[in-house]
Structure 1
Amino acid sequence: MLVPKLFTCFKSYNKEQFVKDFISGLIVAVIALPLSIALAIASGVSPEKGLYTAIVAGFLISLFGGSKVQIGGPTGAFVIIVYGIIQKYGIDGLTIATLMAGIFLILMGIFKCGNMIKYIPYPITTGFTSGIAITIFSTQIKDFFGLNIQVPSEFIHKWAVYFKNMNSINTQSLIIGIISILIIVLCPKINQKIPPTLIAIIVSTLLAIIFNFNIDTIGSRFGEIPSQFPKMHIPTLNFDTMIKLIPAAITIAILAGVESLLSAVVADGMIGGSHRSNMELIAQGLGNIGSALFGGIPATGAIARTAANIKNGGRTPVSGIIHSITLVFFMVILMPYIKLIPMASLSAILIIVSYNMGEWDTFKRLKKFPKSDSIVFITVFVLTIFFDLVLAIGVGIVLASFLFMKRMADVTDVKSILYTYEHIEDDAFMYKVQIPKDIYLYEINGPFFFGAADKFVKTIRDMQNLPKVLILKMSNVPAMDATAYNALETTYELCERNGTKLLILDIQFQPLQVLKKYEFINNSNKDILFKDFDRAFEKALCIVSNHYDKQSDLPNIPKPSMDLC
């Protein structure tokens, strides 16, 4: 249903819930303030762009979203891809890619792809999430240790430069970084009401001012930061650049879709609700388009902020709207003070973010995974770290698809029953049927698709002599594709050339529809279909008996029913 949750919530909205939403929105805004700034800097853009994203995208995602409690904004998942786009195409390139991603997300919602995104395999999502966590961590070493160096973008070269320059650590930056981490880790054990990141920012900034530390701050790194809301800016659209940015835009769209729907599923579990996945995708698209037009970066549903919203009483999209409006006031009022925040403190926040977003338990469970899933996870993880996210997701999806097809092909088998068939009637009575040498019964078990079609064709071709009747039992075939149909048609033609009658037993609905669409089954040959084994077997006996001059040529075979002959 493409109706925003906000409209549904207003039907039973009251003053008491507004108070809860208002308080929750304020608290989430306090949490979002330092995170938005830190994620923007890590992505290679100026601090205010993170706030623009949280304000504009957060507002639109709450206004039009398919979840009651989703909080939208910048997240760690986008840091690496945003940084890479800016390095290659600049800010305008990022804006174009984000706009295109927003359009893709809207189309995905309109065409009801919300459920399809859930089919992206777990090893891929955990692989790139853990890879991104490692990459974010590696980008924060410079500011955490206060190193005055130029850092290359390649992972191995980056760490080589770090180790080479460890003798030039700024002790004051390191002290600020360590204190910030300790505050973020220990404060929740004392008081869970106040966001620990906010305490870390305030304490580290005061320490740097009081002791006059000679360290980098947001102001010394980025200069004067605007405190007013930006004007809408439409970038110059270059067709060649747009074509080059399609892979990046698709990656942003997939990441935004996957992360927002995962967040919505987690939120549903916490509040006992249900989100509208396709409406959520449309809202994510509108949020990213809005963010791009007002100078922001890609956005999606933020799991940590969404969980904080729920824990503080937020139960409708009003809390997300309040969160965005509050951030506007923070930006206007607090921006002169924001530039005093030490870069080491922001690095500490992102180091904790990278630790929390990594799926580290997955490494412990790799031995328990099927080998194919372990291969996909490790491949995506390594490619994310050493190459880029676009390549990692692309290779991961292709590899997972091939391994899935192989697994399905392995579970699909073609079994011959040449002598005795144990037939169960009415789920109770079982009797054995002696199958004569001129009748072959083959049973296909599992999905009949292109991965298993070659196995079927090879089985048929390996027959030394074709029988007078070939019965294909398809009761355990839930689905069939075009390649499998072609294999069946080839078998039918082979039987026709060799005077063999093909009978199909107990075919299921979907495979039968495929045969009808291809006109394999028509008025002239619909008599080859049988639902019941007894009838198919008697038909086979009729065909075989008609082939011989005398019935005595078929010893020990029951006399077939005349209506089938």
Structure 2
Amino acid sequence: MAKIAFHPKLLDTLPGYDGAQFSRDASAGLTVGVLALPLAMAFAIASGMSPTAGIWTAIVAGFLISALGGSRVQVGGPTGAFIPIIYAIVADYGVQNLLVATMLAGAILVAMGVFRLGNLIRFIPKTVVIGFTNGIAVVIFLAQIKDFLGLRIEHMPGEFFGKVEALAANLHTIDIPTVALSIASLVVLLSWNRLARRFTLLARMPGPLGVLVVATVANALLQLPVETIGSRFNGIPQDLPAFALPELSLPTLGKLISPALTIALLGAIESLLSARVADSAIDDRHDPNQELIAQGIANIAAPLFGGFAATGAIARTATNVRTGGRSPVAGMVHSLVLLAVVLVLAPFAKHIPLATLSAIVVVVSINMGEWHEFRGLGRFSLNYRAILLSTFFVTVVFDLTLAVELGMVLASLAFIYRMSDLTRVERMPLGELAMLPQFLYPDKTPRVVAYSLYGSLFFGAIHKLETLLAPAERHPEIVILEMQHLVSLDTTGLEGLESLCKNLHKRGCALILCNLNVQPGSLIERSGFADEVGPNNICGDLYGALARAKELLPRFMDEDNI
């Protein structure tokens, strides 16, 4: 059994770590912590959780992901991609069962890392990733309409059609002050970069925090008639959360396996994509298996403090890199900054308008979608378009797990079709040898034919061998398969060769193989098929195969004369 490797990236950065690097990491951690505060609260509320849960998820999970992870600069916490998943679990099973599902997901992630499955995530095609990313962005946007417009909806359904029906039925309850604040917050957020270029004071402040501070101060001074964290959640507690195990209901445990798998799958994909993006920015290479173990431990620990699902966050990781973070210390500082904010500034949180937090999430949903991919769909094949749009549609209307499963099935079928299309069996000209008397029947029909195999002979291309058994008035007595261009052979392809050999023998024909590559040759030898063909009938090259055919032809000709 392979030795389990547990080697956080933090251990690689400590040798030679100095005060100058700590200063850069601390500065980056401070910036990312300030950015993470409004996002953590906004994502939590959008997920059907309290803002406190979002903050403690960012503190606990964020610290562990940085301290134990396989990336130098990964910053973790709650992310927008989890919003539709978490909301649906809370709506269907309740908060306590969400915490249990998160811990199960953490255990799955640890197991994935231990069994070194991190690289398998890279096998998910780009079309599937784009499809579910854009789908999640649409779902997040739909979920924010209620708070953005101030609609009076007691309970927002988790599934798509129920959500659309509830929004349509309550559209008449739109609240004008809420809409005004939402639009104002949205406009400022979308214009923040432009404003930062004109006013240097804003340049070092993240847009979400700037908008949140302005809206909170305005609401505290003017007492705007809008819903706030204080009116819905009674503010944010200023003390540390109690350490507690979530309540576990054994009859419900089996139902949580599917949600846990969804959380684990999305967490693995998003964290490893984020780490890969970070690698290109800092010229480093992350350890995907160590990253999965850290993500798993973080998701097991966060629910013990009232938190929920967390993963590597691309926006916060990119901000960390841009502001000078080059070691896991920056991500750890980001968590400590959030902890200090909670312990010092929590009383002011009751004035934060939910409309502004909703506008922040709307901007996140707009930015996370790769909408340009839709505009360029016409340039790609039908298979590409079908996979991307199917994954997108199923993500929006049904479920992320189902969408990824469907996308992978469609991508696999498209790959099989493409590989099958590349597999060819072509007749080879034998030149002057084809005119030799012993190579021909009296009616000039060839006794010896040669075919070249190209590509991969696997279960999706086995039908290509059928052309070699097509009925003919005078079948050849020797069939040569030249396999120099056959790069791979699976067990179904081997079975096809065995069937071809048996059918040729029934006709009184011999099969000769030549120019075998390493993998096909190894499988043919290990399976015992080499003995069935005959050791002398497996040759190093085409010339050897033709020489063997010359040896066999007199026997066949004598048999013809008996």
TM-score under structure 2 normalisation?
Answer: 0.92
Where does 1:335-354 land on structure 2 (aligned, <5 Å)?
335-354=346-365
| 2:279 counterpart residue number | 268
1:558 match:
none
Query: In structure 2, how many angstroms separate the alpha carbons of the residues matched to 1:444 and 1:241?
Result: 55
Tell me: CA distance 1:438–1:29, structure 2 relative to 1, closer, same or farther (3 Å): same
The aligned residue for residue 69 of structure 2 is 65
Name the structure 2 match of 1:459: 467
Q: How has the CA–CA distance of structure 1 residues 135 and 272 changed in structure 2, closer, same or farther, with 3 Å as cutoff?
A: same
Q: Which residue type is aligned with residue 93 of structure 1?
A: N
CA–CA distance in structure 1, aligned partners of residues 18 and 552 of structure 2: 77
**Residue identity in the other structure for 1:341:** I
Matched residue, 1:373: 384
Is residue 2:482 matched to residue 1:473? yes
Q: Distance in 2 between matches of 1:272 and 1:421?
A: 54
Contact kept? 1:414, 1:444, Cα under 8 Å:
yes
Shift of 1:139: 0.8
Deviation, structure 1 residue 260: 1.0
- CA distance in structure 2 between the partners assigned to 1:492 and 1:163 by the alignment: 67
Q: Amino acid of the residue matched to residue 23 of structure 1?
A: S
Partner of 1:546 in structure 2?
Answer: 555
Structure 1 segment 266-415 matched on structure 2, within 5 A: 266-415=277-426
Instruction: Give the 5 Å matches for 1:105-504.
Output: 105-150=109-154, 151-191=156-196, 192-417=203-428, 420-421=429-430, 436=440, 437-456=446-465, 458-464=466-472, 466-504=475-513
Cα shift readout 1:184-225 (whole Å, capped 9, x = no counterpart): 122222323111101111111122232221111111112243
Deviations 1:9-44 (CA, angstroms, capped at 9, x unpaired): 011211100011011111100000000011011111
User: 1:363 offset after TM fit, Å?
Assistant: 0.2
Could you say what secondary structure the match of 2:214 adopts?
Answer: helix
Q: CA RMSD in A?
A: 2.1
Contact 2:229 2:235 in 1 (8 A): no
Question: Secondary structure of the residue that 1:476 maps to in structure 2?
Answer: strand
For residue 260 of structure 1, give the secondary structure of its aligned residue in structure 2.
helix
Query: Residues of 2 paired with 1:318 and 1:207: CA distance?
Result: 35
User: What CA distance in whole angstroms lies between the structure 2 residues aligned with 1:293 and 1:421?
Assistant: 75
Q: Report Cα offsets for 1:134-162 as digits up to 9, x if no partner.
A: 11101111111111124443434433443
How far is 1:369 from its partner?
1.6
Question: What amino acid is aligned across from residue 162 of structure 1 in structure 2?
Answer: L
Q: CA deviation at 1:62?
A: 0.6
The yes-or-no answer on 1:536 pairing with 2:542 is: no
Contact 1:179–1:204 (Cα < 8 Å) also in 2 = no
What secondary structure does 1:440 align onto? Answer: strand
Task: Provide the C-alpha distance between the structure 2 equivalents of 1:126 and 1:259, rounded to a whole number of angstroms.
Answer: 12
**Match for residue 527 of structure 1?**
536
What amino acid is the match of 1:475? Q
Distance 1:121 1:394 in 2: 12
Matched residues in 1 for 2:100 and 2:481: separation? Answer: 55
* C-alpha distance in structure 2 between counterparts of 1:521 and 1:60, whole Å: 55
Distance in 2, matches of 1:143 and 1:29, equals 25
Structure 1 residues 340-371: Cα deviation after superposition (integer angstroms, max 9, x where no partner): 11010001000000001011011011111221
Q: Figure out how many residues of one structure are paired with residues of the other and give that number.
A: 541
Q: Is the 8 A contact 2:87 2:158 kept in 1?
A: no
TM-fit CA distance, 1:72: 0.6
CA separation in 1, counterparts of 2:389 and 2:533? 55
Counterpart selection for 1:16 from 9, 20, 25: 20
| Offset from partner CA, 1:484-531 (integer Å, 9 cap, x none) | 111111112222322221111111111122222322224993222212
More deviation in 501-510 or 435-444?
435-444
| In structure 2, distance between residues paired with 1:287 and 1:273 | 23
Unpaired runs of 5+ in structure 2? 197-202, 441-445
Rounded to whole Å, the distance in 2 between the matches of 1:184 and 1:524 is: 72
Output the CA distance in 2 between the equivalents of 1:476 and 1:247: 44
Is the CA contact 1:29–1:326 (under 8 Å) kept in the aligned structure 2? yes
Q: Distance in 1 between matches of 2:13 and 2:41?
A: 31
* Equivalent residue, structure 1, for 2:200: none
- How far the C-alpha of 1:92 sits from its partner, in A, is 2.5
CA deviation after TM superposition for structure 1 residue 226, in Å: 2.6
Going from structure 1 to structure 2, the CA distance change for 1:50 and 1:280 (only over 3 Å counts) comes to same
For residues 85 and 305 of structure 1, what CA distance do their matches in structure 2 show?
25
- After superposition, the Cα gap between the structure-2 partners of 1:336 and 1:466, relative to the gap in structure 1 and judged at 3 Å, is farther
Question: Which of 65, 76, 79 in structure 1 is aligned with 2:83?
Answer: 79
Check conservation: 2:110, 2:296, Cα contact below 8 A. yes
Check whether the contact 1:98–1:289 (CA below 8 A) recurs between aligned residues: yes
User: Cα offset for 1:477?
Assistant: 1.6
Q: Which residue of 2 aligns with 1:556?
A: none
Indicate the SS of the match to 2:191.
helix
**Among candidates 41, 53, 56, match of residue 52 of structure 1:** 56
1:460 deviation in Å? 3.1
Contact 2:246 2:303 in 1 (8 A): no
CA positional deviation for 1:310: 0.7
Secondary structure class of the residue paired with 1:447:
strand
Query: Partners of 2:127 and 2:362 in 1: how far apart?
Result: 23
Describe the shift of the 1:238–1:452 C-alpha distance in structure 2 as closer, same or farther (beyond 3 A): farther
Note if 1:511 corresponds to 2:515.
no
CA displacement 1:364-415 (0-9 Å, x = unmatched): 1111122111101100111111111121111111121112111111111222
Counterparts of 2:318 and 2:108, CA distance in 1: 27
Q: Judging changes above 3 Å, is the alpha-carbon distance between structure 1 residues 298 and 432 closer, same or farther for their aligned structure 2 residues? A: farther
Output the CA distance in 1 between the equivalents of 2:475 and 2:254.
55
Cα distance per residue 1:159-184 (max 9 Å; x no partner):
34434544432121112111211221
Unaligned runs of 5+ in 1: 423-430, 554-565
- Cα distance, 1:450 vs. partner? 0.7
